[in-house]
C-alpha cells in the first residue's frame, strides 16, 4: 500500500510539473506575439508617415471656407497627401508670403491674388512656369477662356486661375418701387445711369437715400475707361479723364457719397448697400454671396437684383471689368509633381464646383458650374444669368511693377476728390508720372 501511495504521488507531481510547463509555454509566446505586433504596427506607422507627401499651401482667409472643403475632398481621394494649409487675413497675407519666399520657407503653393501681385512674383522669379507640366499632362486650358491669355507673361503661364470676378450693378428694388422709377436694364449707358441716380436720390441726414455708392478703390472710378479697352499703362488717358470727371459729376449732383466723406466715415460698399439707403451699387459679383448671407442671417430684408454694368456710349452692352485669382507653385521645390496634382484639382472642375456652390464665380465656366452657381432659380438675384455673357477686361494688366502704377492713380486722384486739383491737372500728372517712373 505504501509503495502504491508513493507511486501515485510521483504520478501526481509529474503531471503537475508537465501542466506547469505547458502553462508557461502558452504565456511566453503570447508576450512575444504582443511585442512583435507592436513593433510591426510601429513599422507600419513609420512606413505610412514616410509615404505621406506634405504640401504647404498658403491662401487668404477670405477663401478659407472654400479651400477647407476643397482640401478635405482632395485628401480623402489622395490619402498619401497631407495639405498643410496656412490662411492669413487679406491685410497681412502678402507680407507673410513674401517673408516665406525670401527665407525659402515652408511654402510650396499659394494664392497669388490679383494679376498685379501675380506679375510681381513672376518679375522676382519666384514662380514656376507651368507650361511643361501642362504639355506633359496635355491639360486642356479651353475651359478657362481668355483668362489664360491675360495671365501669360513673356508667353509663359505661372498660375492656374481658381476664381474670376465680373463687376455688375446691384440695385435695391424696394427703393425703385417706392420712387416709381423703372429698374436698371442690361443696356444702360453711364449717362443714363447718372440720370437714374439723380431720380433715386432723396432726403437729408439720416433720411438720405443715395442714388449710388461708388467705393473708394481706384478701379471703381476708372472702370469705364477699361470698358473702352484701355489699361492703366496703355498710354491713352482720355477715357480715364472722362471717367474721373464722371465720378466728380456724380458727387456734384449729390447722388453719390463724396469720396472724402466715404474715407472719413470708413464707408464700405457692403455695409452701405445692406443699410437699404443706396439705390445702386456698382461692384464685383462676389457681393452676391455677401447679400445672400445677410439674408440668411436676417440682417437685411429688402428685395434686390443685378443688372449689367452701365457702359460708355459706343461700347457693347455687358462689357465690364474683373480680375482672376490664381494658384502658383513656388520655384525650386522638389515635390513639384504632387503640388501640380493638387493645383490641377483645386483650380479644376472639382474646385470650381465648390466656389460656385457658395456664389463665387469660378474660373472654369461650363454648364455644370453655371448650373451650380445659379442654384435655386427662386433665390436672388433673378438676373444672375447675365453674368455668364460678359466681355471682361482686367482691372490691371499682368505686367511687372503694375502695382506702382495703380498706386499713382490712387494717390493722384485723391487730390481731385479733395478739390485741391482739377481733373485735367490730375490726369496730366498721372500720365507724366507713369511715363517717368514706369516706362
Q: How does pLDDT run across 209-231, given as a tens digit for each residue?
A: 999 999 999 999 999 999 999 99
Cis peptide bond prior to 381, omega within 30° of 0: yes
Residues in the chain: 439
Q: Given its phi and psi angles, is residue 58 left (phi above 0), alpha (psi -120 to 50 degrees) or beta?
A: beta
Given a contact cutoff of 8 angstroms between Cβ atoms, the answer to whether 384 and 374 are in contact is yes
**Distance separating alpha carbons of residues 255 and 240, to the nearest angstrom:** 21
Q: How does pLDDT run across 134-162, given as a tens digit for each residue?
A: 999 999 999 998 889 889 999 999 999 99
Cα angle: 245, vertex 251, 254; to 5 degrees: 145
DSSP conformation class of 330: B
Return the half-sphere exposure (C-beta side, CA atoms, 13 A cut-off) of residue 122.
Answer: 27
Sign of CA dihedral 427, 432, 435, 437: negative
Residue-by-residue pLDDT tens, the chain, 439 positions:
444 445 454 454 544 444 444 444 444 445 555 566 666 666 665 555 568 999 999 999 989 999 999 999 999 999 999 999 999 998 899 999 999 999 889 999 999 988 888 998 998 999 999 999 999 999 999 999 888 988 999 999 999 999 999 999 999 999 999 999 999 999 999 999 999 999 999 999 989 999 999 999 999 999 999 999 999 999 999 999 999 999 999 999 999 999 999 999 999 999 999 999 999 999 999 999 899 999 999 999 899 999 999 999 999 999 999 999 999 999 999 999 999 999 999 999 999 999 998 888 999 989 999 999 988 888 899 999 999 888 999 999 888 888 889 999 999 999 999 999 999 999 999 999 999 988 7
Helix (H) or strand (E) holding 175: helix 173-179
Smallest Cα–Cα separation from 116: which of 217, 225, 237, 227?
A: 217
Smallest Cα–Cα separation from 362: which of 140, 63, 5, 118?
A: 63
The number of beta carbons lying within 10 Å of the beta carbon of residue 369 is 23
What helix, strand, coil percent values describe the chain, rounded to 5?
A: 55, 15, 30
**Distance separating alpha carbons of residues 310 and 175, to the nearest angstrom:** 19
Q: Which residue has the cell 450693378?
A: 169
User: What's the Rg (C-alpha) of the chain?
Assistant: 32
The number of beta carbons lying within 10 Å of the beta carbon of residue 103 is 9
**Distance separating alpha carbons of residues 171 and 193, to the nearest angstrom:** 12
Amino acid at each position: 500500500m505504501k509503495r502504491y501511495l508513493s507511486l501515485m504521488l510521483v504520478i501526481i507531481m509529474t503531471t503537475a510539473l508537465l501542466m506547469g510547463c505547458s502553462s508557461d509555454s502558452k504565456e511566453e509566446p503570447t508576450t512575444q506575439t504582443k511585442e512583435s505586433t507592436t513593433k510591426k504596427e510601429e513599422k507600419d506607422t513609420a512606413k505610412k508617415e514616410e509615404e505621406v507627401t506634405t504640401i504647404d499651401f498658403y491662401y487668404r482667409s477670405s477663401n478659407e471656407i472654400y479651400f477647407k472643403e476643397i482640401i478635405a475632398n482632395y485628401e480623402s481621394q489622395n490619402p498619401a497627401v497631407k495639405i498643410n494649409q496656412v490662411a492669413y487675413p487679406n491685410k497681412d497675407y502678402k507680407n507673410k508670403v513674401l517673408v516665406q519666399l525670401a527665407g525659402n520657407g515652408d511654402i510650396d503653393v499659394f494664392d497669388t491674388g490679383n494679376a498685379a501681385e501675380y506679375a510681381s512674383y513672376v518679375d522676382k522669379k519666384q514662380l514656376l512656369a507651368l507650361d511643361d507640366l501642362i504639355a506633359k499632362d496635355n491639360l486642356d486650358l479651353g475651359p478657362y477662356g481668355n483668362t489664360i491669355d491675360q495671365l501669360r507673361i513673356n508667353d509663359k503661364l505661372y498660375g492656374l486661375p481658381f476664381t474670376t470676378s465680373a463687376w455688375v450693378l446691384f440695385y435695391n428694388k424696394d427703393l425703385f418701387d417706392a420712387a416709381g422709377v423703372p429698374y436698371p436694364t442690361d443696356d444702360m449707358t453711364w449717362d443714363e445711369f447718372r440720370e437714374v441716380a439723380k431720380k433715386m436720390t432723396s432726403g437729408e441726414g439720416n433720411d438720405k437715400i443715395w442714388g449710388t455708392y461708388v467705393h473708394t478703390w481706384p478701379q471703381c472710378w476708372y472702370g469705364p475707361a477699361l470698358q473702352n479697352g484701355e489699361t492703366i499703362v496703355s498710354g491713352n488717358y482720355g477715357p480715364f479723364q472722362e471717367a474721373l470727371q464722371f465720378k466728380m459729376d456724380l458727387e456734384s449732383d449729390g447722388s453719390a457719397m463724396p469720396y472724402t466723406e466715404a474715407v472719413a466715415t470708413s464707408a464700405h460698399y457692403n455695409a452701405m448697400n445692406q443699410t437699404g439707403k443706396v439705390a445702386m451699387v456698382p461692384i464685383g459679383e462676389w457681393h452676391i454671396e455677401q447679400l445672400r448671407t445677410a439674408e440668411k442671417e436676417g440682417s437685411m430684408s429688402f428685395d434686390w437684383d443685378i443688372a449689367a454694368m452701365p457702359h460708355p456710349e459706343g461700347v457693347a452692352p455687358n462689357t465690364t471689368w474683373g480680375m482672376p485669382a490664381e494658384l502658383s507653385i513656388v520655384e525650386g521645390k522638389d515635390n513639384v509633381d504632387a503640388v501640380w496634382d493638387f493645383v490641377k484639382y483645386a483650380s479644376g472642375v472639382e474646385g470650381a464646383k465648390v466656389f460656385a456652390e457658395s456664389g463665387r464665380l469660378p474660373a472654369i465656366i461650363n454648364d455644370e458650374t453655371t448650373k451650380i452657381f445659379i442654384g435655386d432659380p427662386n433665390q436672388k438675384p433673378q438676373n444672375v444669368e447675365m453674368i455668364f455673357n460678359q466681355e471682361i477686361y482686367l482691372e490691371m494688366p499682368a505686367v511687372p511693377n503694375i502695382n506702382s502704377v495703380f498706386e499713382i492713380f490712387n494717390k493722384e486722384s485723391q487730390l481731385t476728390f479733395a478739390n485741391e486739383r482739377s481733373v485735367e491737372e490730375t490726369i496730366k500728372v498721372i500720365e507724366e508720372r507713369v511715363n517717368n517712373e514706369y516706362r
